[in-house]
Chain A
Amino acid sequence: MTTIDAKELDFTKLNDRIRETAGDLEIVNCLGQRFIADGQSGRTITIQGVPGNALGAYLNGADIVVNGNAQDAVGDTMNDGSIVIHGNIGDAAGYAMRGGTIYVKGNAGYRAGIHMKAYKEKVPALVIGGGAGSFLGEYQAGGIIIVLGLTGKKIVGNFPGTGMHGGKMILRSDCKDVRFDKGVTVSPASAEDLEAVSSYLKEYCRLFNEDYEALMNAPFTIVTPDSSNPYKQMYVAN
């Protein structure tokens, strides 16, 4: 495994170095460098520190582990692979991701999972251990968003699922105090609903040493869109 010391490297130099190396990689002293591992595939990249915005954008199969927090736009338009964040994450995590998985131990900022997609066997998943900010899953078109509320922060901010027209959200809460937008169906998750996502929940517990039984001992809510054609009736031909 190669190690790169990111201290005093700007993002262009650091990313050049990443592209020059092959195989598994560790980056130490990472401090805010953007665009790390964009479009990478077929390797594991472990980051000690805090990577900057757009970590793993267009990720194409690589596995990224961050031992720290991460900033905005993690996994933007990600196609495949995995990103594991041992901390909190900024805004717009998993924007338009269409494959792979993102696991966040702690909280997520605004607009997590915005415009996530799915197509046939490619079903992306975003699992947030803590709470998520407002506009979670806005325009969600596919995939699975799971929020577990383990950090004590409110499970989700305002207007989750605005414009949602595909996929599903599983929230570990009764969601009585959550203000959903119109256009989504909110109901208690059934045993089958939870069974369908149990592999993601177990993986979260494995990654972050949580107890699965304890995790499941709570109410869960499932959110699904009412229509895959939300704007169909809005127009008249002119």
Chain B
Amino acid sequence: MGIEFLYPEFEVVRNDARCIRCRVCERQCANEVHTYDEEGHVILSDDAKCVNCQRCVSLCPTRALKIVKSDCTFRENANWQPDTIREIYKQANSGGVLLSSMGNPKPLPVYWDKILINASQVTNPSIDPLREPMETRVFLGKKPGVMERDENGNLKTELPPQLELSMPVMFSAMSYGSISYNAHASLARASKELGIYYNTGEGGLHEDFYVYGPNTIVQVASGRFGVHKEYLEAGAAVEIKMGQGAKPGIGGHLPGTKIVGDVSRTRMIPEGSDAISPAPHHDIYSIEDLRQLVYSLKEATEYKKPIIVKVAAVHNIAAIASGVARSGADIIAIDGFRGGTGAAPTRIRDNVGIPIELALAVVDKRLRDEGIRNNVSLVVGGSIRSAADVVKAVALGADACYIATAAVLALGCHLCRTCQTGKCNWGIATQRPELVKRLNPDIGSERLVNLMTAWNHEIKELMGGMGINSIEALRGNRLMLRGVGLTEKELEILGISHAGE
């Protein structure tokens, strides 16, 4: 209290006439906001502990609860916003580096929302996906420049390894440890059913999920957690994580409190020890060094699996991607600055990196200009929120998109942005058994399948409207895009015309 006091950000509003004292809210809140007072026969709420995850709101059988933003606030000041003032108080109280979760919430430009998609009228008729075949299947990997056949018409050219996706979307990396066993189970099962892939992140692969290997991308990051021969062989592809959109230039620390039980075994580190992924790979100082790691993984997997190199979208991303394309990587994944995270220093999350739309546009152009675009596939992530974002990304030049925030939303996440506490009431970003069991993998995987099925149908409708029946014909087809409210420079970088042109 006193100088260190921060007024609670949210208020728990209970309609007492509706409350039946069933105490569901009390049992459901890992933050211990609600307590039952026997004497007064009332439920009390400690607003200060509330993170606005909406778990109690969602489970209250009589809709007696709502969470509202507190109107007790500082004197209005356009320069010193309440968040800024609170952050100063927190740091003055603790001396700590501010730590946040999930993607950048700042009101920075979302270019997807300033790009509009074309449709056919009169000429080049549109296609109805309900009645006509539409192809959303994509293959990720290096494409040979020349195809040779023998006298019998059989392919002589040896095809580099490819990932086959039923639609141009995959679930991006979230480690076991940062998210729960049931969250991984949901992603793995949904990927298998959908014919797409999920990504282990840098926490290794739980032994129960080796059966989903054909739909799994296994990640190798600077900490090398859980990486061994069987792990590399289990996956359909291997991803080298160089960077992450939410925290370019830094590594990760999974706190020792989350290294328990199976997480410890899967990462192959002792319980309670911090899992530290250093910022750089300490054997990579150049594209040549990256090439060495790419080829050591190719050798270890006998050239049977595509190697993905994941980088964060940063200022010189075009030159970086050009280098990565020459490193022997089969696929480049680029993660934009609005990408999510289980924990990142606030200042890094909110200030480092560039939007994925711009990064994708310049990388695709650079690789085309250099004549090496077909040497790699491009996968983009960092806040792909809908089928429309996917279509725009493909038209800007992406082969496929990575989604993670949208996937955890499907699993019940309400974006309260407190993953780092490990007390996720929805059973996603937690390792506490009583919370993990709240996420039922049967329901979780079904909801992911629903989401992706819906998106795939929307992708087909948007493509059909443009008179395009194959995702291949959409890729890099920037004529299908127009900008609204963008400057000349922004349009130039995106390589699109303004609406009306």
Contact = CB atoms under 8 A, between A and B. Distances in A.
A117 B268 contact: yes
Contacts of A142: 269-270, 273
Contacts of B255: 229, 231-232
Interface stretch (A51-59, A169-177, A197-205, A211-219): A51-59
B274 A39 contact: no
A156 interface: no
Contact of B98 (A76, A163, A228, A236): A236
Given A58-B228, A231-B276, A236-B93, A34 B295 contact: yes
A21 to B, nearest CB: 14
Interface in A33-71: 34-35, 38-39, 41, 53-54, 57-58, 60
A220 to B, nearest CB: 25
Contacts of A77: 220, 224, 227-228
A35 B296 CA distance: 6
B90 A236 contact: yes
A60 B228 contact: yes
Give the interface centre of B256, B295, B299, B345 by most chain A CB atoms within 10 Å: B299
A136 interface: no
Interface string B71-110: 0000000000000000100110111111110000000000
A10 B194 CA distance: 41
A235 B224 contact: no
Contacts of B377: none
Chief secondary structure at chain B's binding surface: mixed
Given A77-B224, A96-B224, A98-B228, A138 B282 contact: yes
A139 B96 contact: no
Given A228-B256, A229-B256, A115 B296 contact: no
B253 interface: yes
A19 interface: yes
B45 interface: no
Contacts of B292: 34, 53-54, 73
A35 B256 contact: no
B149 interface: no
A231 B274 contact: yes
Nearest to B251: A139
Given A234-B96, A238-B346, A76 B296 contact: yes
Contacts of A105: none
B229 interface: yes
Contacts of A115: 222-224, 276, 278, 282
B299 A15 contact: yes
A115 B268 CA distance: 13
Nearest to B343: A235
Nearest to A54: B296
Interface in A55-111: 57-58, 60, 72-73, 76-77, 79, 91-92, 95-96, 98, 111
B282 A39 contact: no
B108 to A, nearest CB: 18
A11 B298 CA distance: 12
Contact of B232 (A39, A53, A141): A39
Given A235-B96, A237-B420, A141 B295 contact: no
A58 B96 contact: no
B239 to A, nearest CB: 15
A113 B47 CA distance: 48
Contacts of B302: 19
Contact of A141 (B97, B276, B296): B276
B421 interface: yes
B48 interface: no
A149 interface: no
B265 interface: yes
Interface in A1-26: 11, 15, 19
B473 interface: no
Contacts of B295: 11, 34-35, 54
A205 to B, nearest CB: 30
B158 interface: no
A236 B94 contact: yes
A35 B90 CA distance: 50
Interface in B276-306: 276, 278, 282-283, 292, 295-296, 299-300, 302
A165 B222 CA distance: 16
A95 B221 CA distance: 12
B236 to A, nearest CB: 17
Contacts of A138: 278, 282
Contacts of B375: none
Contact of A73 (B96, B97, B227, B283): B283
B418 interface: yes
B262 to A, nearest CB: 12
A73 to B, nearest CB: 5
A234 B227 contact: no
A98 B229 contact: no
A141 B420 contact: no
The 4 A-B residue pairs with the shortest CB-CB distance, nearest first, are A236-B96, A96-B224, A238-B98, A35-B299
18 contacts: A53-B292, A54-B296, A60-B229, A76-B283, A77-B227, A111-B282, A120-B270, A141-B269, A228-B270, A229-B273, A229-B274, A235-B96, A235-B97, A235-B420, A236-B90, A237-B99, A238-B87, A238-B90
